Structure 1
Amino acid sequence: MKRVGKISRYLGQAWLAGVWLFLFGYFAFHAFQGDNSIAALKRLEAQELELVVQAQRVASVRHALETRTQKLAGKTIDPDMLEEQVRLRLGFTHPDEVVVFIPAD
């Protein structure tokens, strides 16, 4: 009877060790695979860097547009900007001049 008791105790301990090994394996596997893994984190960090660069480009374009808009708004209108817009939108030119518009990139 002592042997049966020892065997059942060892089986109970082995079962518990098996559960712990399974849990460790499960979490270790999912740490390297899946949507919330370390590899996915690296991809998200790379995507974040790309989006930061894109946001900086958009911010610089916005700043340029705001600067141009401020020159035409308010009480003080920049005469050169006004002339440029009139020529561009209405096509006004003097008879003796040729105007070439170069699109901004």
Structure 2
Amino acid sequence: MLARLRPYLPTAALAFLIFYFGFHAFTGDRGILSTRQRDETLAVKTKELADLRKQRESLEARAHLLRDTSLSADLLEERARSLLGFSDPKDYVIRLKR
């Protein structure tokens, strides 16, 4: 019986390999069926990247105003008040518990 099946063993092994790789091409982490999930993740990450870029540009602009060459008096006063804990008599101070 085994002698009669011996010629078909390479064909069966090849068919098994084709089935194995085909199955994982559809259902694997990077398979055809998971493209929608990857597209959703890409959209979320793209939005997050845009938000982080805006935040970075804002921080760079504020840092530029604090440099020696272009010192902004208003920004310097704001930072000094924040760090030293002082306020103007006309300011309203709201204390929050930490």
- TM-score per shorter chain, which class? 0.5 to 0.7
Pick from 87, 98, 102: which aligns with 2:91? 98
Q: Report the alpha carbon displacement of residue 91 of structure 1 after superposing the two structures with TM.
A: 2.4
Mind listing any 5+ residue stretches in structure 1 that lack a counterpart? 1-7
How many residues are matched?
89
TM-score (norm 1): 0.62
Matched, 1:50 2:26: no
**Aligned 1:21-60 pairs, distance under 5 A:** 22-60=16-54
8 Å CA contact retained: 2:64, 2:70: no
Matched, 1:80 2:74: yes
Moved over 6 A (4+): none
Match of 2:65 in 1: 71
The AA in structure 1 aligned to 2:52 is V
Q: 1:99 to 1:82 in 2, by over 3 A?
A: farther
Q: Point out the structure with max Rg over C-alpha.
A: 1
TM-score (norm 2): 0.65
Q: Report the alpha carbon displacement of residue 50 of structure 1 after superposing the two structures with TM.
A: 1.3
Mind listing any 5+ residue stretches in structure 2 that lack a counterpart? none
